[in-house]
Structure 1
Amino acid sequence: MKRMLSVLLVFAMLLLSGACGRTTENTDTPASDSAPAQGTAEITAPETEAPETEARLLPDIPDKTYSGQAFRFLSRPVNNPVVRYYSEIAVDEMNGEAMNDATYERTQRLEEKWEIDIISDTEESVGSAYTNSYTAGEQNWDVVVPGFVDVINLMQGGYTANIHDIPYIDLSKPWWDGAVAESMEIGRQLYAVIGSTNTWTDSHTYGVTFNKDLAKDYQVDPYNMVRESKWTLDNMYSIAQNVTTDLDGNGEWDHHDRYGISGTTYGFNLHMISSGIFLYSKDEDGFPQLNITEEFYNAAEKICSIMTSGNYLKATDLTGKVDDIWDKGLRDNFRWGGSLFLVNGIEEIIIFRDLDTDIGLLPLPKYTETQDRFYHPFSTYWASVMIIPRNSETTEFTGAMLEAMNADAYYSTSQTYYDVILAGKAMRDPDSVEMLNIIRSSRIMDMELVYNFLGMSGIYEKVLANKSSDILASSIESAKKVAQKGIERLIKKYQ
């Protein structure tokens, strides 16, 4: 108990320090980057006394009440045992589960303080439900919370309001992901935003889960490598080479052998983004333009070499060898100690909470030691974001209450979410908490990951299948014309 309390105290101080303002697909299967695992994620947060912290920030909104006005949300339903096992928006009653109860208490505080009625509607297809309502001239919701894939269609279809035009939403406050907002802007217009309410997005920010027992066996300390800016692709690969072993000696590599690194083919995208090398830049007006550099090709060649070296077990390598290449393949391999590093969403920490093996969390590696910061993408399949309908006639009310809700979430449900991770058996050390803080504060949205102008996910898969980056330049050159037209169409929608 004392050990857990000390971890929680360290976490709280890190979370509320100056670094705590969150300054951030195509996979082997549509949801393979976080396929549902066995069991549930219900964990009750431990009861601890709150540590002394700096003064609580308050939203800069009018001090008024709204006489029971409905604050209406549309979001996806709760139906996933790992991530979507609780509502981000509102629940009707407490049930003893940490996230559910924190959401309930937040709802009660907001409703009582502002005299509002928070209504949470759900639909499997949020995008379709919202567009049908919008085109019918209806105004059924104040805030819509779809998955990121839906958001792109809604933004380009003209269904969403410019967040910069909404009163009281202050993206400089720590309860908004300002870095993601900046990267999402097109022509200095912003049509979706991620706040502290969006803990589903937090779950599916990418990182590296690692086997601490194996790390000790091979005498490596990745935590200090991160602190000393030595956590790079080259150094990660060097460690992986020493770990990879044909354990059964049969010369056939499968999930029964040991690997330095494991993940999916989508890892190519992740390593490119975490290298801080992007395919697009923005012109002086804030509009995107292709910017493919020699450095990009050099990084892609290195990543291809690492991922096809035999030291990086990919889910597709197990096709035909196991029924479920993700859970029965990669995850089971990690469970028994078959890989040192697993590259995927940080929700793996929850999934592996019952392991007897000691595991920890790391950021995605940098490209070089001179890289000035980390970069962490999030799943475009699972992430949740918030939009405000373009036809809204209550933007002052919506802006004020959305600001209030995320300000409260910053100190309540968002912190509870990370306490849940800490309370699970997996994250048991202050070092992992420190790494988690790095990941949270370095999230970013990559334009190609979202808009897929060049079709890079498909190109990367071809590169991996060919085990050579030789086709990369020609594939990109062939895609440039279509990509440029796509960019031009996007710009026209925002001019």
Structure 2
Amino acid sequence: MNNKNSLLCLILTTTALISSCSDSNADTVTETVTTSSQTDSFYDSLNADYDGYEFTFFNPTEQFNCYIRLDFEEQTGETLDDAVYERNSLIEDKLNCTITEFQFEGDTGWGTQQQSLCTHITQMVMAGDCDYDAAYLPVSFQPGVVTGGYLTDLYTIPELQFGEEWWDNVINDSLTINGKLYTASSPLHFMSLDLAWVLLFNQDMMDELAMEYPYDLVREGKWTLDKFNEYITGVANLNGDSSFTWDSNGSAVYGIAEHTGSPTAFIYSAGNQLLERDGESFKFVGNTERMYNTVDKLRSLFNVSSGNAYQSNAAMETQSGYLYAFSVDRALFITCELKATLELRDMNSTFGLLPLPKYDESQPDYITSVNHITAFLTIPVTQPDMSRAGTILNALTYESWKSVLPIYYDVSVSQKGLRNDDSIEMLDIVRSNRGVQFSEVFGITTELSTSIQTVVNSNQDTIASTIDAGIPKVEENLKKVLEAFE
């Protein structure tokens, strides 16, 4: 934020639903968010003066169409952009510092680009430099950036007030191993919000099919995999096409447009895990009847030959993308991440939002899976002033939670992306129980998860043997990660 006018502009008073993250059964509470200029007890003890220090973030230029900007030189007129600008201006004024963002393009190509982000930081640390005070890194693409000793254990910085409600405590707890946290999530950066898996459905198509919208099922705790299957069954229709093979000029209609990477999200949302915390260690818990049954249900849901599913991982950029298929009324449902609600703003038909279904009605809560490819907050070990970094980051996180997060949900997503009050209510459920599979973030179960996705997407009756074959590699990877966290 170099060369900006230091006068702070008022952020509009916004009412937001802020969900407690203290546990998976947290109740949603309503909080009135006041303007940032008002006196706040948080700031009573914030009396540091950093003499104009330039605090620099390392951040990707772009990641999967997510909203990831951390700074703006000036206001843009976009509500969310201006809220980020105001947040930084406030903290700059409070702490006498300057917030800047270095946007790194990296190499091109899926995976290669994300790895280059991590490599850039590891090379910087190996050279003994610290060009950036904090870095947002997609560590799942190169877990060695965590296990190789390049990052700081964030719990060693007391100024980072983990446990307070402005941090994503459920996610951060899951990323904690042996009492250490090297990468964290908070509403300072919105990628972990944008990459929350959800279901969208075409309300106009449901009207034509004389179906009841599933909103009440969600409210009553009855939105399950079996109910989802009931909605999907019988929807597929060739409409004169010769097969269900995708044809952009065809007319075939599918039950669901499925992102090929979504099965692991459904498995997690159905209350399954591959690894479970066991004291100071972890144990493998993926070979259960619940897991096998979940996968069998998903094989039926995502059956390609029956037309239940059209599978793709392309978005709107081609006429073969899963988003495109949904946008032109050729799929009743779509598996996607929350960011897709904005990518579908020009869709003519009305769509609704739902959480991913439970395994069955006895499951206590709906669980929202955050895609493990998210870029999380890290601090290089070469950071010369951990206290200063912690103070600035904690203040930015607090102010983002207080004044920017409500705008993200209530304006950017709800008003611009969603189309009815029912969907906005469903959004509150989605945001209340966000979690991430730590074993995917650190690369422990990545290979096995990919194999399980293949079982689902290819409709293979091999889940038990697939899991058994993957256990040795998981145990090997787990051992390496635990050693790195000692």
Which residue does 1:416 correspond to in 2? Answer: 407
Contact 2:356 / 2:366 at 8 angstroms: preserved in 1? yes
What code does the residue aligned with 1:141 have? Y
Q: CA deviation at 1:483?
A: 1.8
Partner residue of 1:83 out of 40, 55, 66: 66
Matches within 5 A, 1:339-358: 339-358=331-350
What code does the residue aligned with 1:456 have? L
Which residue does 1:112 correspond to in 2? Answer: 93
Partner residue of 1:377 out of 369, 372, 386: 369
Contact 1:151 / 1:192 at 8 angstroms: preserved in 2? no
Which residue does 1:219 correspond to in 2? Answer: 211
Q: CA deviation at 1:166?
A: 0.8
Matches within 5 A, 1:320-359: 328-359=320-351
Distance 1:388 1:294, change over 3 A: same
Are residue 268 (structure 1) and residue 252 (structure 2) matched?
no
- Larger RCO of the pair (alpha carbons < 8 Å, separation 6+): 1
Matches within 5 A, 1:406-445: 406-418=397-409, 419-424=411-416, 426-445=417-436
Distance 1:315 1:298, change over 3 A: closer
Distance 1:22 1:415 in 2: 19
CA RMSD of aligned residues (A): 2.8
Q: CA deviation at 1:155?
A: 1.0
Distance 2:319 2:158 in 1: 45
Distance 1:290 1:109 in 2: 46
What code does the residue aligned with 1:266 have? G
Which residue does 2:302 correspond to in 1? Answer: 307
Partner residue of 1:15 out of 2, 17, 21: 17
Contact 1:260 / 1:312 at 8 angstroms: preserved in 2? yes
- Write the deviation string for residues 423-466 of structure 1: whole angstroms up to 9, x where unpaired: 32x41222211211211121111134332436223312442465
Aligned length: 447
Matches within 5 A, 1:10-409: 13=15, 15-16=17-18, 19=19, 21=21, 58=42, 62-78=46-62, 82-84=65-67, 88-123=69-104, 124=106, 125-150=116-141, 152-217=143-208, 218-248=210-240, 250-254=242-246, 256-285=251-280, 287-292=281-286, 293-308=288-303, 310-316=306-312, 328-381=320-373, 383-409=374-400
Q: CA deviation at 1:240?
A: 0.8
Tell me the SS of whatever aligns to 1:423: coil
What code does the residue aligned with 2:214 have? P
Distance 1:417 1:465 in 2: 33
Distance 2:278 2:243 in 1: 52
Tell me the SS of whatever aligns to 1:243: coil
Contact 1:186 / 1:288 at 8 angstroms: preserved in 2? no
Distance 2:478 2:43 in 1: 36
Distance 1:461 1:200, change over 3 A: closer
Distance 1:332 1:215, change over 3 A: same
Distance 1:353 1:111, change over 3 A: same
Question: Which has a greater percent of strand?
Answer: 2
Distance 2:171 2:44 in 1: 22
Distance 1:372 1:324 in 2: 35
Question: Which has a greater percent of helix?
Answer: 1
Distance 2:94 2:100 in 1: 16
Q: CA deviation at 1:295?
A: 1.8
Distance 1:324 1:196 in 2: 27
Which residue does 2:477 correspond to in 1? Answer: 486
Which residue does 1:449 correspond to in 2? Answer: 440
Unaligned runs of 5+ in 2: 1-11, 25-30, 107-115
Which residue does 1:6 correspond to in 2? Answer: none
Q: CA deviation at 1:357?
A: 1.1
Distance 1:277 1:409, change over 3 A: same
| Identity value in percent | 23
Q: CA deviation at 1:83?
A: 2.4
Which residue does 1:3 correspond to in 2? Answer: none
Distance 1:105 1:22, change over 3 A: farther
Q: CA deviation at 1:159?
A: 1.1
Are residue 468 (structure 1) and residue 460 (structure 2) matched?
yes
Distance 1:390 1:23, change over 3 A: farther
Distance 1:258 1:374, change over 3 A: same
Distance 1:477 1:345, change over 3 A: same
Q: CA deviation at 1:311?
A: 4.6
Unaligned runs of 5+ in 1: 1-8, 25-50
- Write the deviation string for residues 123-182 of structure 1: whole angstroms up to 9, x where unpaired: 223312211111011122221112243563211111111111112212222221110011
- Write the deviation string for residues 351-381 of structure 1: whole angstroms up to 9, x where unpaired: 1112221112111111111111122222233
Distance 1:61 1:136, change over 3 A: farther
Distance 1:219 1:68 in 2: 60
Distance 2:464 2:376 in 1: 34
Contact 1:210 / 1:341 at 8 angstroms: preserved in 2? yes
Which residue does 2:111 correspond to in 1? Answer: none
What code does the residue aligned with 1:315 have? Q
Contact 2:452 / 2:467 at 8 angstroms: preserved in 1? no
Tell me the SS of whatever aligns to 1:120: strand
Contact 2:254 / 2:308 at 8 angstroms: preserved in 1? yes
Q: CA deviation at 1:481?
A: 1.7
Q: TM-score, normalised by structure 2?
A: 0.84
